[in-house]
Structure 1
């Protein structure tokens, strides 16, 4: 299984059918828009489903809120029908199999996860959705660093890649080997992610690989941030070599001998301490 294109998001992934994930895809995992601008969110329905005979629904889910339908396309229609509570700033059209949702003069309350949905048999298919951030602040790209750390003790090494200082705090990690191929997980490889909340959010991707591979190969960690930008992919290379704990410590050629028994002064101090303990009636 090919993984290592992981990302962090607060969006709820709704897969109501085992084969549902391939039915609806989204142009972006997330979108960042300044207040007053007009973001466009797109989803594409698999060609195995004919929209001329299938009704398509659009939903909105706010953080920690209920999912609510905002509009739908009757079968065969290229124009959306708005639900009663949906502002007229919302509009959508269908071109072939792709739906484009436009939100004019976007406002902070429009921030949510947006889904396209349709019925497949007796189940409604949503896919992963697109998360919309609405902000008055400028986006900040991540600061990226990567390095090897101590090996895990079972013949494997750990490579760390950390993104910090970005806004919004969503990132997607990708790992590649020195041939430029995406790293594929095996029995000796794992990928973990850790998110630290604080004054500065830090998201860390940890690649656990065979020790020999770490010694003889370079690895590249890339981070994708604001997908609305053209050149938003940042990369850092971890060179081949030993991890930190494989560096042998320096040996002092003239070590100081360790005494086998305490010197007389230390013996006297110890006896005085014993007397004080006895005086207070405390046993050691």
Structure 2
């Protein structure tokens, strides 16, 4: 179990939550983009080098305090220390086995966690958090993952392309990042209007899907075809190497859409332009297979949950009867 305490004004209460619930809520808050901003997706360092993690605070934290947590793979999330903003004051958590390795510095609107000499055991994901003074909830940032290795950072190779069906009213825009190290990227979609202004694509405007597997991340967004005629869409790929922006060519009403042979915006190792052959039939087949797999997986999970619940009920019912005489 993971145990967290409320701020002092609610010191008569305590909050005990299962670790899995904490991690789930952590990612939920990170996805909503509330209050705490950790722009660094990953950090790659070799042993004995120093490293720091930054966290920008856009709201008001209770007690003007930012907490730092560590999540090692396969272990529960644990607090390292807490830091008072706009000061060098920090207090280590005595229950954390590595707390002595860390320090923190607070600025007026940000906190920075530091490790002066990293060790392999420091490989983990680091989250900043603070108590929301209005909702009395512990809000988390999106986290920064530290890789302790001698490997060098490799720039992602990115492919972007658009596909549509003449009989459909939507266009599908895809952005694929691969062959990078670390293999964590953050893909976002932006829209550019006729005046050159850019903004994030509203979630209500298009259905967005992200698929991750070892070594690559694919993001797909489905947009109303009329909007692709009026606006230009941009795929932004954030990585430790840098942030790259790739324009999706604006669709035109007389553009043939039965077949598409888009070109990738990068070159391969031979320095020859790389062309990706792509047809609507193959795309629809892949999507159908993927969606069918997702539905089938969800059905299996629901059946497993139902069976486990039924088994627990039967078990408690048998125990409630007591021994027969």
Tell me what 2:244 maps to: 233
Separation of aligned partners in 2, 1:61 and 1:97: 24
TM-score, normalisation: structure 2: 0.58
Which of these two proteins has the greater Rg computed from alpha carbons?
Answer: 1
8 Å contact kept, 2:49–2:117: yes
Q: Residue 109 of structure 1 aligns to a residue in which SS?
A: helix
How far apart, in 1, do the equivalents of 2:183 and 2:228 lie? 29
Sort the Cα spacing of 1:184 and 1:119 in 2 relative to 1 into closer, same or farther, 3 A. closer
- Quick one: distance in 2 between partners of 1:25 and 1:96? 14
Give the equivalent residue in structure 2 for 1:245. Answer: 258
Compute the TM-score of the two structures, normalised by the length of structure 1.
0.65
Per the TM alignment, residue 98 of structure 1 is displaced from its structure 2 partner at its CA by: 2.3
After superposition, give the CA deviation of every residue in 1:187-245 in whole Å (9 maximum; x if it has no partner): 66222222244xxx23222121122333565433231211xx5x542424434343642
- 1:156 is displaced (CA, Å) by 0.9
Aligned residue number for residue 188 of structure 2 = 174
Aligned length: 228
Residue ranges of structure 1 left out of the alignment (5+ in a row): 1-10, 248-284
The Cα offsets for residues 92-150 of structure 1, whole Å up to 9 and x where unpaired, read as 12233422111122123212222233444654333333222322211111111112224
Q: Deviations over 1:4-27 (max 9, x none)?
A: xxxxxxx8651798xx96343334
What corresponds to 2:175 in structure 1?
Answer: 161
Match runs of 1:78-97 below 5 Å: 78-84=88-94, 85-97=97-109
The two structures, once aligned, show a CA RMSD in angstroms of 3.5
Query: Whose RCO is larger (CA < 8 A, sep 6+)?
Result: 1
1:22 partner SS: coil
Which residue in the other structure is 1:60 paired with?
Answer: 70
Partners of 1:218 and 1:119 lie apart in 2 by: 40
- The 1:23–1:142 alpha-carbon spacing in structure 2 relative to 1, beyond 3 Å, is closer
Instruction: Give secondary structure in 1 for the equivalent of 2:237.
Output: strand
Matched with 2:128 is 116
